Every structure is written in C-alpha cells, then in structure tokens.
Amino acid sequence: MEVVKHMAEKKRREEGSREKTEEVARNLLAKKMEVEFIVEVTGLTAEQIKEIASM
C-alpha cells in the first residue's frame, strides 16, 4: 500500500511540474520570445511549444 501511495504522490509532483513548465512556456510565448529560446529555458521540445501556442 505504501508503494502505491508513493507512486501516486510522485505522479502528482510530476504533473504539477509539467503544468508549471507549460505555464512558463505560455508566458514566454505571450512575451513574443523565440521558440528556440523557450526550448532552451524549459526543456520542452519545439513541437510541444508549438502545441501549447495553438491552444
């Protein structure tokens, strides 16, 4: 049971981290930053950033 609890907590942290990274990417896009710069700063791929931009 403890392992399941630990895995669920880890998944929540990873999800929160991903959401924060996407928020940073959206903010940088709103500031008209270059996709290449956002890739470098966030670690996301250009494809992921383009997907966020289209939302």
Q: What is the pLDDT of residue 6?
A: 86
Rounded Cα distance between 48 and 51, Å, is 5
Residue 1 has pLDDT above 90, yes or no: no
Q: What is the pLDDT of residue 41?
A: 97
| Residue 29 · residue 38 · CB < 8 Å | yes
What is the residue extent of each domain of the chain?
A: 2-53
Q: What is the pLDDT of residue 29?
A: 98
Find the distance separating the first CA and the last CA of the chain, reported in whole Å.
38
Q: State pTM to two decimals.
A: 0.83
31 CB-contact burial (10 Å; exposed 0-12 / middle 13-18 / buried 19+): exposed
Q: What is the pLDDT of residue 33?
A: 98
Condensed to tens digits (0 to 9), the pLDDT of residues 17-52 reads 999 999 999 999 999 999 999 999 999 999 999 999
